[in-house]
Chain A
Amino acid sequence: MSTLKILVVDDEPGIRSGVTRILKNFRVDYPFMDEAFDFEVLEAATGEAGIEIIENNIPDILLLDNKLPGIQGVEVLEYIKKKKKNIIVVMITSYASLELAVKATSDGAYDFIPKPFTPQELKSSIENITKRVFLKKMTNKLQDTGKQIRFTFLSMLSHELKAPLNAIEGYLKMVRERQLGSRIEDYDTIIDRSLDRIKGMRNLILDLLDLTRVESGKAKRNITDVDLVQLARTAMDTMRPYAIQRDVTLTLHGVSPLIVQADSEEIEIIFNNLISNAIKYNKEGGHVTCDLQRTDDCIRIKVEDSGIGLSPAEIEKIFDDFVRIKNEKTKNISGSGLGLPIIKKLVDNYSGRIEVTSIPDAGSTFTVTLPI
């Protein structure tokens, strides 16, 4: 048996004692858990008192009312976020302030329970959270023992490599078993799909080679005078057939020569990835503009598109290995999830930085700044 600590922060004594009573003999037990969970409830009547408890005796779960006498619930939430405390926060809120609760969930709260709640509602919410805590603990435990599978680079990689193989294997079996009947034309779609997955896998391997080069190939770097405008033009020429296919216009602004000290292959990778992303995540009839400028102390490469854009939450993740934004708009776009991490690592090698601004459905601008 494992005990999870739950802190209730609410100025109504009735709510606090209610939660304590409901959860006193409550247990959560799933067949896939090694052990059952029960609960110890801590109480605080104000946000300030809540924070004091969090500092001294960190709870696993926080049930947080927003309307409090002193600091408000959202401020407690902000504090937890700022201090990077590992606590699952559930907002307790009256129906009237549901909108606020929804906002709180986008600020990091895991869930919300509308007030008044029945014992069953509280229990099922706690049950869900417990499952999440369990999965998290499991992940941490595996990480500690070095056995963590899902989130290490190699396992992500093996997952990414296995997924297309599974798909293609499935399709080949369909053909072998003639699952779509005896007409060869009926298999066109699955053949195309298999070829797409093979292409995706090839791109992944090419990106991996780039990544290996970035991470281990420092000794082989060949720093010379390179003309950025020339390299950008070459990258655009390479991408032009793809742009035409997608009906996207490419424009380059910059006066050649724009000379910097760099490794030309690395700069090529940066341009290729930025421009191909800008085409890939664009709309039909859209445009991509690459703008190159030198200021007193740096070079600025700006690639702007008129594509599907990114939300602030998506921007936070896109430089992590293998992250791909999954939504309705990206459903049919394939990618390795390595393009931006590669750019980020390369730019770091030059002590530069990469920034993104974006408006969903209007477009994104990626700006790389390299010091000179």
Chain B
Amino acid sequence: MRAGNVTILIVDDDQDYLYQLQIKIQNFGYQTITAESQKEAEELIEKVKPDLAILDLMMENEDSGFILCYKMKKKYPDLPIIIASGVTAETGISFDINDENNRKWIKADCFLDKGIRTEKLKEAIDRLLEKS
């Protein structure tokens, strides 16, 4: 897939974080579309199918990211999804979905911490795009 034709959906209720992530990803050479809530994202995916989605975990509810991920995978089973969250730092709950057993419950392809470095983020996105 050519970078310029790839559209990445970013969903986050923090408009500053959303904007900063959007610029980073555009600088990687990808196009972006954004939504500021689970609800807005659900409406958006009715109209567009992105090539990859990055979802915040806690938005309207503490599990908005999970629910959104579930619904997106139901609609587009092959859509790679990254859940980005600051939750580890705040609650101490850590996620591990590298285990095959766990993957079938949470259908996200990848969990990232919100403070992740730019290169790491690019690596993760490119790896998932390559696979799909």
Chain A residues within CB distance 8 Å of chain B? 29-32, 128, 131-132, 135, 138, 149-150, 155, 159, 163, 166-167, 170-171, 174, 177, 179-180, 190, 193, 197, 326, 331
Contacts and interface: CB of A to CB of B under 8 A. Distances in A.
Contacts of B15: 331
Contact of A171 (B16, B91, B92): B16
B20 A150 contact: no
B14 A163 contact: yes
Interface residues of B, number: 29
A140 to B, nearest CB: 13
A30 B106 contact: yes
Classify the interface of chain A: helix, strand, loop or mixed. helix
B27 interface: yes
B99 A31 contact: yes
Interface in B21-53: 23-24, 27, 36
Contacts of A131: 63, 66
A170 B17 contact: yes
B93 interface: yes
B67 interface: yes
A138 B24 CA distance: 35
Nearest to A168: B16
B76 to A, nearest CB: 18
Contact of A135 (B13, B62, B97): B62
Given A31-B95, A32-B94, A128-B67, A167 B102 contact: no
17 contacts: A30-B102, A30-B105, A31-B99, A32-B94, A32-B95, A128-B67, A131-B66, A138-B91, A163-B14, A167-B17, A167-B20, A171-B16, A171-B20, A174-B20, A193-B16, A197-B16, A331-B36
